[in-house]
Amino acid sequence: MREISSRIELSPLRACWEGSGFTPGPPKDTSGAQRKHLFSSYADHITWSDPEQVARALAVFEGMLRAYRNEMERYPGSGEETPQQKWGRELDRIRREFDCDGYQITESLRILKAGESRPDHEMADVQLYAEALRVLRHARNQMERLPSVTRGKGEEDIRDVLLVALGAAFAGRCTAESLNGAGKTDLLLRIGDRNVLVGECKFWRGSTKFPTDIDQLFGYLTRYDSFAVLPLFIRAARPEEIVAKAAQVLSEHPRCVSVAVPDHEGRQYKFVLRSASLTPWNVEVALIPFVIS
């Protein structure tokens, strides 16, 4: 992982460690440049015989793997090899190294002990989350084509349109104003007693208030919620500027671990943020802007 740290930008690398509960100190291994130095300042002071510290360190490493994946997928592949194929090859190499230490890496980049059963639903949840986001994007596109649907409507009225779309796609399993975490979330897609999407709908109220909206969403998440969405309703003559500001606020959030390559065509922007818990976990957050009348 120390070698991988040298391939991650300094800001996302630092974000992986901040909020982990570890305190940096003088690195024992002083070789390498700034990013390796940063990694060693934390990793060299972990008590690896302490299971609780090991669990927190593995969570940091999971964040590093996601940040590394984002770095590799950001640049074109060589020849006919796509960035995703290049990452696949690199992940296979990393997995072999972790295998030697008795660990396995799942498709969602979770690090588990060798032999520890992987949740059968893990890959399914990733696919269900992707499908739910697709439904929301298509609902957004249709709503923008029919401005009368949202003209003069409030947040709850527009949310209910999204609730209908998700409910139709997932056989009524999506609910609104559902108790979860510390309150009632706008959209909750629960399948097989698992939450595969937690959503909080918001009107854009400016860059200074958007961080509060992000924190509100995280207040509705529990330790077992890994996928969230922020449908952002925008009433403005130049929505592109607001979308850029919202994405910037998320990318500069103090708990942001990584930023995916923006999907400008699909108008969807993904981020990975760490929870504010004493035992933090990573949450994938999708920002989907809605330009409404």
| Eight-class DSSP state of 147 | G
194 bridge partner residues:
191
Q: Are both 127 and 202 inside the same structural domain?
A: yes
Last residue of a domain, one of 113, 144, 159: 113
Last residue of a domain, one of 113, 139, 168: 113
- The rounded mean pLDDT for the chain is 89
Q: Are both 152 and 247 inside the same structural domain?
A: yes
Report in angstroms the alpha-carbon separations of 194 from 144, 174, 212.
31, 12, 26
Helical residues (DSSP H) of 220-277, grouped into ranges: 239-251
Q: Are both 66 and 172 inside the same structural domain?
A: no
Q: Are both 85 and 166 inside the same structural domain?
A: no
Pairing of strands 183-185, 256-259: unpaired
Instruction: Tell whether the model's pLDDT for residue 24 goes beyond 60.
Output: yes
Per DSSP, the three-state class of 202 is strand
Is-contact 136 288, C-beta < 8 A?
A: yes
Q: Are both 127 and 68 inside the same structural domain?
A: no
Q: Are both 77 and 175 inside the same structural domain?
A: no
Q: Are both 88 and 197 inside the same structural domain?
A: no
Residues whose CB is less than 8 angstroms from the CB of residue 6 and which lie 6 or more positions away in sequence, other chains included: 32, 33, 35, 36
CA dist., res. 238 & res. 205, Å (int): 14
Instruction: Tell whether the model's pLDDT for residue 72 goes beyond 60.
Output: yes
CA dist., res. 13 & res. 257, Å (int): 8
pLDDT of 31 reads 85
Q: Which two tokens stand for residue 102?
A: 């008795």
Instruction: Tell whether the model's pLDDT for residue 79 goes beyond 70.
Output: no
Q: Are both 262 and 140 inside the same structural domain?
A: yes
Q: Are both 150 and 255 inside the same structural domain?
A: yes
Domain of residue 138 covers 122-291
Residues whose CB is less than 8 angstroms from the CB of residue 215 and which lie 6 or more positions away in sequence, other chains included: 276
Pick from 50, 54, 47: which is nearest to 101 by CA? 54
Q: Are both 88 and 151 inside the same structural domain?
A: no
Q: Decide: pTM greater than 0.85.
A: no
Mean pLDDT of 130-137: 94
Q: What is the pLDDT of residues 188-240, one digit of tens each?
A: 999 877 899 999 999 999 999 999 999 999 999 998 899 999 999 999 988 99
pLDDT of 209 reads 96
Q: Please, which pLDDT band fits residue 93 given cuts at 50, 70 and 90?
A: very high
Last residue of a domain, one of 52, 80, 113: 113
Q: Name the domain count of the chain.
A: 2
Give the number of other Cβ atoms within 10 Å of residue 177's Cβ. Answer: 13
CA dist., res. 150 & res. 118, Å (int): 43
Q: Are both 82 and 166 inside the same structural domain?
A: no
pLDDT of 78 reads 62
Q: Are both 187 and 271 inside the same structural domain?
A: yes
CA dist., res. 149 & res. 161, Å (int): 9
Q: What is the pLDDT of residues 143-172, one digit of tens each?
A: 999 999 999 999 999 999 999 999 999 888
Sign of the torsion angle spanned by Cα atoms 162, 163, 168, 170: positive
- DSSP secondary structure of 61-88: HHHHHHHHHHHHHTSPPSTT--HHHHHH
